[in-house]
C-alpha cells in the first residue's frame, strides 16, 4: 500500500470512529425524545423501541407533565434567577476585582486570598448554615437568592477578573482620571469595555452553573418557587409511583432551551470554557 492510500484509509477510519462515538453521544437524548411520545406504561417496558400505533400517546405526556410540574413558571424562575444573578456577578465582581488590583494594600491582598479560598470549599460545608442564615435575613425569595449567588459566584469571578486586570496597562485609566473622570466613570467608560472577553467567560461559566443548580434553590426557595431542576426532581420525589411519561416529556422540555442556547452561542461558550480553564 502506498503512503497516500494508507493516509486515506487512516482518515476514513478516524471519521468512522468519530461518527460512531458521535451517535453514542446523541442517542441518550434521542431515546428520551422518542419515549416522551409513548404511553407512560410502555416506557419502562420497551425503552429502545420507536413508538408504534399501540404505544404512541401524542402529546399526552407533555400535557400531564406541564400540569404536574408547572413547567412554564419553573422556566420563568430559572430564567429570572439565572439572568439577574449573572448580571449581578459580572457587574459587582468586576468592580471589586478592579479595586483589588489597583488599590494595593494588605487588606485587598487578604481579600483576594479569601475569595480564592472560597472556590475550593464544597457546597455541603455551608449548606445548612447558609440556608439558616439566609432564611433568618429574609433572603428566601428569588431576589434574595440572586444575592446568595453573587456571594457564591464571587470567588471564581473575582479570581478571573483579577487575573486579566493584572495585564491591563495603567496609562489609559490614568489619562481618564487626569481628564477629570471619577473612579466610577473611569471604570464604566474605560475599564469595563476592556474586560469584555473575561466578562463573557464569567457570564457563561456562571450561567451554566446557576441554570442547572439544584440543591441551593431547592433548600432556599424550593417550596414556593421551583426552578427547572427542582420541578423535575419534584415530579420524581413527591408521591408514590412515578409518571414516566410526564418525566420524559419534562426532560425533553428542559433540554430544548439549553440546546437552542448552545447552537446560538456555541462559539462564545467554547471560547469561554477554554479561557476559563487557562485562567483557572
Partner 1 sequence: MALKKYFPVFVLPTLAAFTIAFAVPFILGLFLSFTEFTTVIDAQWVGVSNYIRAFSNADFLNALWFTVRFTVVSVITVNVIAFALATLLTKGLKGTNIFRTTFFMPNLIGGIVLGYIWQLIINGVLRFFDVTITYDPKYGFWGLVILMNWQLIGYMMIIYIAGIQNIPTDLQDASKVDGANRWQTLRNVTIPLVMPSITICLFLTITNSFKLFDQNLALTAGAPSKQTAMLALDIYNTFYGRIGWEGVGQAKAVIFFVIVAVISFIQLALTRRREIEQ
Residues 87-106 that bind partner 1 (CB under 8 A): 92-93, 95-96, 98-100, 102-103
Cβ proximity of 70 and 226 under 8 Å: yes
Q: Are 65 and 232 a contacting pair, CB within 8 Å?
A: no
Q: Which is nearer to partner 1, 124 or 167 (CB)?
A: 124
Burial of 94 (0-12, 13-18, 19+ CB in 10 A): buried
Residue among 37, 115, 159, 164 that touches partner 1 (CB under 8 A): 115
Question: Pick from 137, 172, 175, 189: which binds partner 1 (CB under 8 A)?
Answer: 137
Q: How far is the CB of 223 from partner 1 (least distance, A)?
A: 13
- In the complex, minimum distance from the CB of residue 275 to partner 1, in angstroms, rounded to a whole number: 9
The answer to whether residue 37 forms part of the interface with partner 1 (CB under 8 A) is no
Torsion angle of alpha carbons 230, 232, 234, 240, nearest 10°? -160
Query: Does position 189 bind partner 1 by CB under 8 A?
Result: no
| Closer residue to partner 1 in complex, CB, 9/277 | 277
Measured between its terminal Cα atoms, the distance across the chain in Å is 47
Query: Of 160 and 251, which has the nearer Cβ to partner 1?
Result: 251
Work out which of 124, 169, 240, 241 binds partner 1, going by CB under 8 A.
124
User: How near is the Cβ of 31 to partner 1 at its closest, in Å?
Assistant: 6
Residue 188 DSSP class: I
Closest CB 242 distance from partner 1, rounded Å: 10
Q: How far is CA 87 from CA 39, 83, 93, 237, 255, in A?
A: 42, 6, 10, 32, 23
Does position 109 bind partner 1 by CB under 8 A? no
Residue placing its CB nearer to partner 1 in the complex, 63 or 271: 271
- Written as nine digits, the cell of 250 is 419534562
Backbone angles phi, psi at 212, to 5 degrees: -95, -5
Amino acid at each position: 500500500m502506498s503512503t497516500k492510500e494508507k493516509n486515506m484509509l487512516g482518515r476514513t477510519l478516524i471519521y468512522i470512529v468519530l461518527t460512531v462515538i458521535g451517535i453514542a453521544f446523541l442517542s441518550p437524548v434521542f431515546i428520551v425524545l422518542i419515549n416522551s411520545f409513548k404511553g407512560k406504561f410502555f416506557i419502562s417496558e420497551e425503552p429502545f423501541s420507536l413508538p408504534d400505533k399501540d404505544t404512541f400517546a401524542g402529546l399526552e405526556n407533555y400535557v400531564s407533565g406541564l400540569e404536574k410540574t408547572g413547567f412554564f413558571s419553573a422556566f420563568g424562575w430559572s430564567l429570572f434567577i439565572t439572568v439577574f444573578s449573572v448580571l449581578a456577578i459580572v457587574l459587582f465582581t468586576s468592580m471589586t476585582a478592579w479595586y483589588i488590583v489597583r488599590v494595593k494594600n494588605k487588606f485587598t491582598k487578604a481579600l483576594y486570598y479569601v475569595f480564592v479560598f472560597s472556590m475550593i470549599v464544597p457546597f455541603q460545608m455551608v449548606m445548612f448554615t447558609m440556608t439558616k442564615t439566609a432564611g433568618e435575613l429574609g433572603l428566601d425569595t428569588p431576589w434574595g437568592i440572586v444575592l446568595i449567588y453573587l456571594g457564591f459566584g464571587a470567588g471564581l469571578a473575582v479570581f478571573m477578573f483579577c487575573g486579566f486586570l493584572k495585564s491591563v496597562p495603567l496609562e489609559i485609566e490614568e489619562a481618564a482620571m487626569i481628564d477629570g473622570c471619577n473612579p466610577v466613570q473611569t471604570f464604566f467608560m474605560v475599564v469595563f469595555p476592556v474586560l469584555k472577553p473575561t466578562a463573557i467567560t464569567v457570564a457563561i461559566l456562571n450561567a451554566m452553573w446557576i441554570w442547572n443548580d439544584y440543591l441551593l434553590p431547592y433548600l432556599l426557595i424550593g417550596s414556593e418557587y421551583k426552578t427547572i431542576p427542582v420541578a423535575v426532581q419534584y415530579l420524581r420525589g413527591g408521591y408514590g409511583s412515578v409518571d414516566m411519561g410526564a418525566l420524559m416529556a419534562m426532560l425533553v422540555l428542559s433540554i430544548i432551551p439549553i440546546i437552542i442556547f448552545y447552537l446560538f452561542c456555541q462559539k462564545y461558550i467554547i471560547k469561554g470554557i477554554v479561557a476559563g480553564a487557562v485562567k483557572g
